Structure 1
């Protein structure tokens, strides 16, 4: 993985929370070493300069953060814990030393989703004075953000749906997967839309939306829910899933719709599926009632590679997308 896969923060050896002063200090130290007049690499110097120009400008930095650090740490082949491979994640050292690339080997043994969470890169591997990607308490926090009001109409019903879904995940998904992290309220990585929730564990990401329908029998044909002569369309999550997949090529990204009943019964509504549309994580969009949503999302996250790993690069970029 070369320099082009590093975020601007990693190029300068900074945390996302770095102040403007931190950015200037890191740039000056890095530029002195990498400047071509001092025998440095011109390509690396250009990358350092580009990182500084964006991070030193508040407006450009905000736009960059909202784009999930486009072109950043989501490089293929950087997974932690893939059996039989030597996976390393290079990064720069501290701003004070700017000691070039360092490599850290990810855990290689197979772990299960119920194992204690481990962090990659490991905090224990940080060199003296090196700035971590994010503070450890932030990385250890299982829930980030909360459903937020947006728009003028229908806000109360939407917030109620989102709150029910978030509560369901916190009570029935997160306790069984210590590495799972729920992020509420993100800007969509395309257009001007939003995503209600993102659930990540290891190298699997679930984009989650919600619906509220009456009890009864429904049929899912892969595009809409059909109830007698009525049709209910789910949230449009496919564009967000595809865009997020492009931003995180090392992850498996799918979309999920949790369908709540008006009575609060987790097993309602009853949904029949046409062939090939079962919510098993193999489809771009998976639609299920609350009970099946819990079961299938847990299976989806647990069956991925290294489900007990909290990849700090992935989590940091997702948190940067919160609105």
Structure 2
């Protein structure tokens, strides 16, 4: 079975929505079972105590959640054990290298072996029907919700235009991506890993994560050179998503993470602007950052999510950690 380090919630056997009272009760039970005076393991008792010290303090708990819940030191059986595409090197036989530090990303070509289909009903891991009294990481209604959070006002300058752009992207995803992939979940408004800014949207399906930003540009033809959009003598730089994509890849090694920029035209036409790509710049998921107009963004991000090894899976551990990062 694959091994991974448990989060503080898992150490105490709690859902991520646990109340202060539930945390206290769970700690007392876990401490009693692991205390050395009762024949327990001293190392496990220290882990239980550390988990309680963090989760019982509202400020520490918020920081912990927004750090995407760095795992504790004690390994436990993974909820993804035996699951293709989970654990180390997710889908490495299907998708090639996952070296995020080098800036490479996963390709979306399909392997000849049979795979689950993105249009199949969502399957939860672990299965709610097989918990045997174990507290789920997320309540089922929350896990079944396709959209979490909303664009929120932050900053002073340009807030209205940014909110309008984010709302347009979120609406596009809800209308044209989510209906065709039942397991896909859209999370709006996350803190960037390390607390360096914010992320507009994250799309997850199975073990693929699409970090999504957006731009609004005037009508016309543009060229994407792999770094900026060029329009005549003017250039437009996309959101800086590479650091966040690399950080998320490190935090979620069981997933394939890439970044996407949806470029909206001021005309409202989904097929504008027209973007010409230099060699290697095509937005097919093979680059760490993929830039496309709204129509192509929808097509390519659906392909990226659907071509993963288990696109119909909702992994409760991954989803609950991402939800903890919402600001």
Q: Which TM-score band (shorter chain)?
A: 0.7 to 0.9
Per the alignment, residue 202 of structure 2 pairs with 198
Distance 1:12 1:195 in 2: 29
Runs of 4+ in 1 over 4 A off after TM superposition: 1-4, 72-77
- Select which of 176, 182, 185 maps to 2:189: 185
Structural RMSD (CA): 2.1
Instruction: State yes or no: 1:313 paired with 2:292.
Output: no
Between the two structures, name the one with larger relative contact order (CA 8 Å, sep ≥ 6).
2
- Select which of 137, 151, 154 maps to 2:155: 151
Deviates more, 1:38-47 or 1:155-164: 38-47
Q: Secondary structure at the match of 1:27?
A: helix
Instruction: State yes or no: 1:136 paired with 2:140.
Output: yes
Per the alignment, residue 84 of structure 2 pairs with 82
1:126 to partner: Cα distance: 1.3
Distance 1:171 1:42 in 2: 52
Per the alignment, residue 11 of structure 2 pairs with 11
Distance 2:231 2:199 in 1: 26
Q: Where do residues 263-282 of structure 1 align in structure 2 (5 Å cutoff)?
A: 263-282=267-286
1:206 to partner: Cα distance: 0.4
1:76 to partner: Cα distance: 8.7
Per the alignment, residue 69 of structure 2 pairs with 69
Instruction: Mark the runs of 5 or more structure 1 residues left unpaired by the alignment.
Output: 86-108
Distance 1:58 1:21 in 2: 13
Deviates more, 1:264-273 or 1:65-74: 65-74
Q: Secondary structure at the match of 2:194?
A: coil
Instruction: State yes or no: 1:226 paired with 2:230.
Output: yes
Per the alignment, residue 125 of structure 1 pairs with 130
| TM-score with structure 2 setting the length | 0.87
Instruction: Mark the runs of 5 or more structure 2 residues left unpaired by the alignment.
Output: 88-113
Per the alignment, residue 89 of structure 1 pairs with none
Q: Secondary structure at the match of 1:195?
A: strand
Per the alignment, residue 308 of structure 2 pairs with 304
Q: Where do residues 95-110 of structure 1 align in structure 2 (5 Å cutoff)?
A: 110=115
Per the alignment, residue 35 of structure 1 pairs with 35
| TM-score with structure 1 setting the length | 0.88
Q: Quick check: 1:74–1:250 contact (8 Å CA) kept in 2?
A: no
Distance 1:146 1:33 in 2: 41
The verdict on how the C-alpha distance between 1:256 and 1:173 changes in structure 2, with shifts beyond 3 A counting, is same
Distance 1:317 1:201 in 2: 14
1:42 to partner: Cα distance: 1.8
